[in-house]
Amino acid sequence: GGCPFPAGGGQLVAVGGGARPRLVLDGLNMPIDVAQDQSGAIWVLEFAEFRAGGDCFAGGDYIPNSGRLSRLDASGTLQPVVVDLNTPGAFLLAPDGTIYISEVFTGRVLAIQPPAAEGAWPISVAGLAADGATLALPSIPIATLTPLGSTPDR
């Protein structure tokens, strides 16, 4: 954290239960949201990388498409699941496994379906219903992302 957001300067710290704060993870780029899924896994959303010496308040020094959503595996390794996000602001892990990610400057909400098997995670843009407030599905497919270390389906 901090301004001008040093690369890799973000941390995830566990607090609570009367215990001392404990460092869980470091080396993050502007972590902005964190959640625990139904299996107990921790998910971390990183906003963006920041240009060295840039102006935090002008907004133009965030590196586009440098945000990512990652899952902390059982060994304590952070595994990127969705990369190339454009300034994501928050995410939601839905009970059906869909992950919704909002992007701050684009105004988009992405809907990401977990794959049926190892491989690509399909992404689509979720829209709003006629009332302007309710998330409307189905969504429009825009891309398919492949997790790092796996082979894309062809």
CB 136 within 8 A of CB 120: no
pTM attached to this predicted model: 0.72
Residue 81 has pLDDT above 70, yes or no: yes
pLDDT band at residue 69 using 50, 70 and 90 as cut-offs: very high
31-145: which CATH topology? Thrombin, subunit H (2.40.10)
Q: Where are the domains of the chain?
A: 31-145
- Of 35-49, 60-74, 132-146, the one with minimum mean pLDDT is 132-146
